[in-house]
Amino acid sequence: KLSLQLSPAPAKSTKHPNGNNMKLSLQLSLVLAVVAEVGAFSFIGSPRHHHVPAPTALHMSDFGGGSDFGSAMPEKPEQTLEEKLMESATTYIVTIEGQLAEGVKQPESLEKLRKARDEKADAKTLAARTYELMIEQGMTYDQDPDTGALTPTEWDIKDNLETPEVKKEFAYLYQYGINLIGRGLLDEADAKAIVMEGLIERTGKTPEEFDAWLGY
C-alpha cells in the first residue's frame, strides 16, 4: 500500500558515469512553466529552469493615452479546465518532439497524451497522461545541457538509488502525483498504478520498501 505522504523536494541535475549531464528533473520545470501558466497545476510550485518563456498578456492600458478602445473589445471567453489541460498538453507534446535528437524514438506515453488530447478527454485523463509522460521522460531520456536535445539515457537507476539527486527526483515526482489527487485531477487508484509502474518498479523495490527508502 502506498503511503502517498512524501513532502515536495526540488529536483537537481546529476551526471552519468560517463560524464554526460542527465537531467533527472525531466524538464519538470518546463511542464510546470506551461501548466502553471494556464492555472491547472499552479499548486505544484514555481518553475526552476524552464526552456519555454511563459506567455505574457498585453493590455490596451499598456499603451497609455487613456483610450477606452480596450473596454469596447469583447472579453475572451474563459477556458474550461479541460481546455487549459489540452492547451498545456499540446505545448508539452510539441516541445518534446522538437527536442528529441535525430533518430531518437519518442516516449510511448507521448502518443497516449496526444490521443487523449485529440479525443478531448476529461481533465483526470489528461492529467494522468501528462503525469505518465513526465515520469517516462525523466526516467528514460537524457537532456543535453547545451542544446536541450533528448537522447536515450545510459543512467542505471538501480545502481544509483543512494545518490541524493535520485532520491529527490523520485520524491518530487511522487509528490506531484499526490498534489494531483489533492486537486481532484487524479484518482488515488490511478495515481498508485502510475507510481507503481513508472517509479517503484524502476527501483526494484516493493511499495513498502520504496516508502522506507524515501524516509516514510
pLDDT for 40: 41
- Per-residue model confidence (pLDDT) at position 143: 87
The alpha carbon of 72 is separated from its chain's Cα centroid by a whole number of angstroms, namely 39
Residue 155 phi, psi dihedral angles, 5° rounding: -75, 130
- For position 47, what pLDDT does the model report? 29
The three cell numbers of residue 96 are 518534446
For residue 122, give the C-alpha cell.
476529461
What confidence score (pLDDT) does residue 25 get?
Answer: 40
SS3 content of the chain, % helix, strand, coil (to 5): 50, 5, 45
**Which 8-state DSSP code applies to residue 63?**
G
* Angstrom distance (rounded) from CA 194 to CA 177: 9
Rg, C-alpha atoms of the chain: 19
- Expressed in angstroms, the distance from the first to the final Cα of the chain is 12
Q: Which residues pair with 92 in a beta bridge?
A: none
- Which amino acid is present at 199? L
pLDDT of residue 61: 38
- Mean pLDDT per segment of 10 residues, for the chain of length 216 residues? 44 40 40 41 32 32 46 74 93 96 96 96 96 92 91 90 87 90 94 96 95 84
Q: How far is residue 216's CA from residue 214's CA, in Å, rounded to a whole number?
A: 6
pTM of the model: 0.70
Residue 15, pLDDT score: 42
Number of Cβ within 10 Å of residue 144's Cβ equals 15
Of the candidates 125, 51, 41, 43, the one whose C-alpha atom is nearest the C-alpha of residue 84 is: 41
pLDDT at 31: 45
Residues 6+ positions from 94 with CB-CB distance below 8 Å = none
Q: Torsion angle of alpha carbons 25, 30, 35, 37, nearest 10°?
A: 130
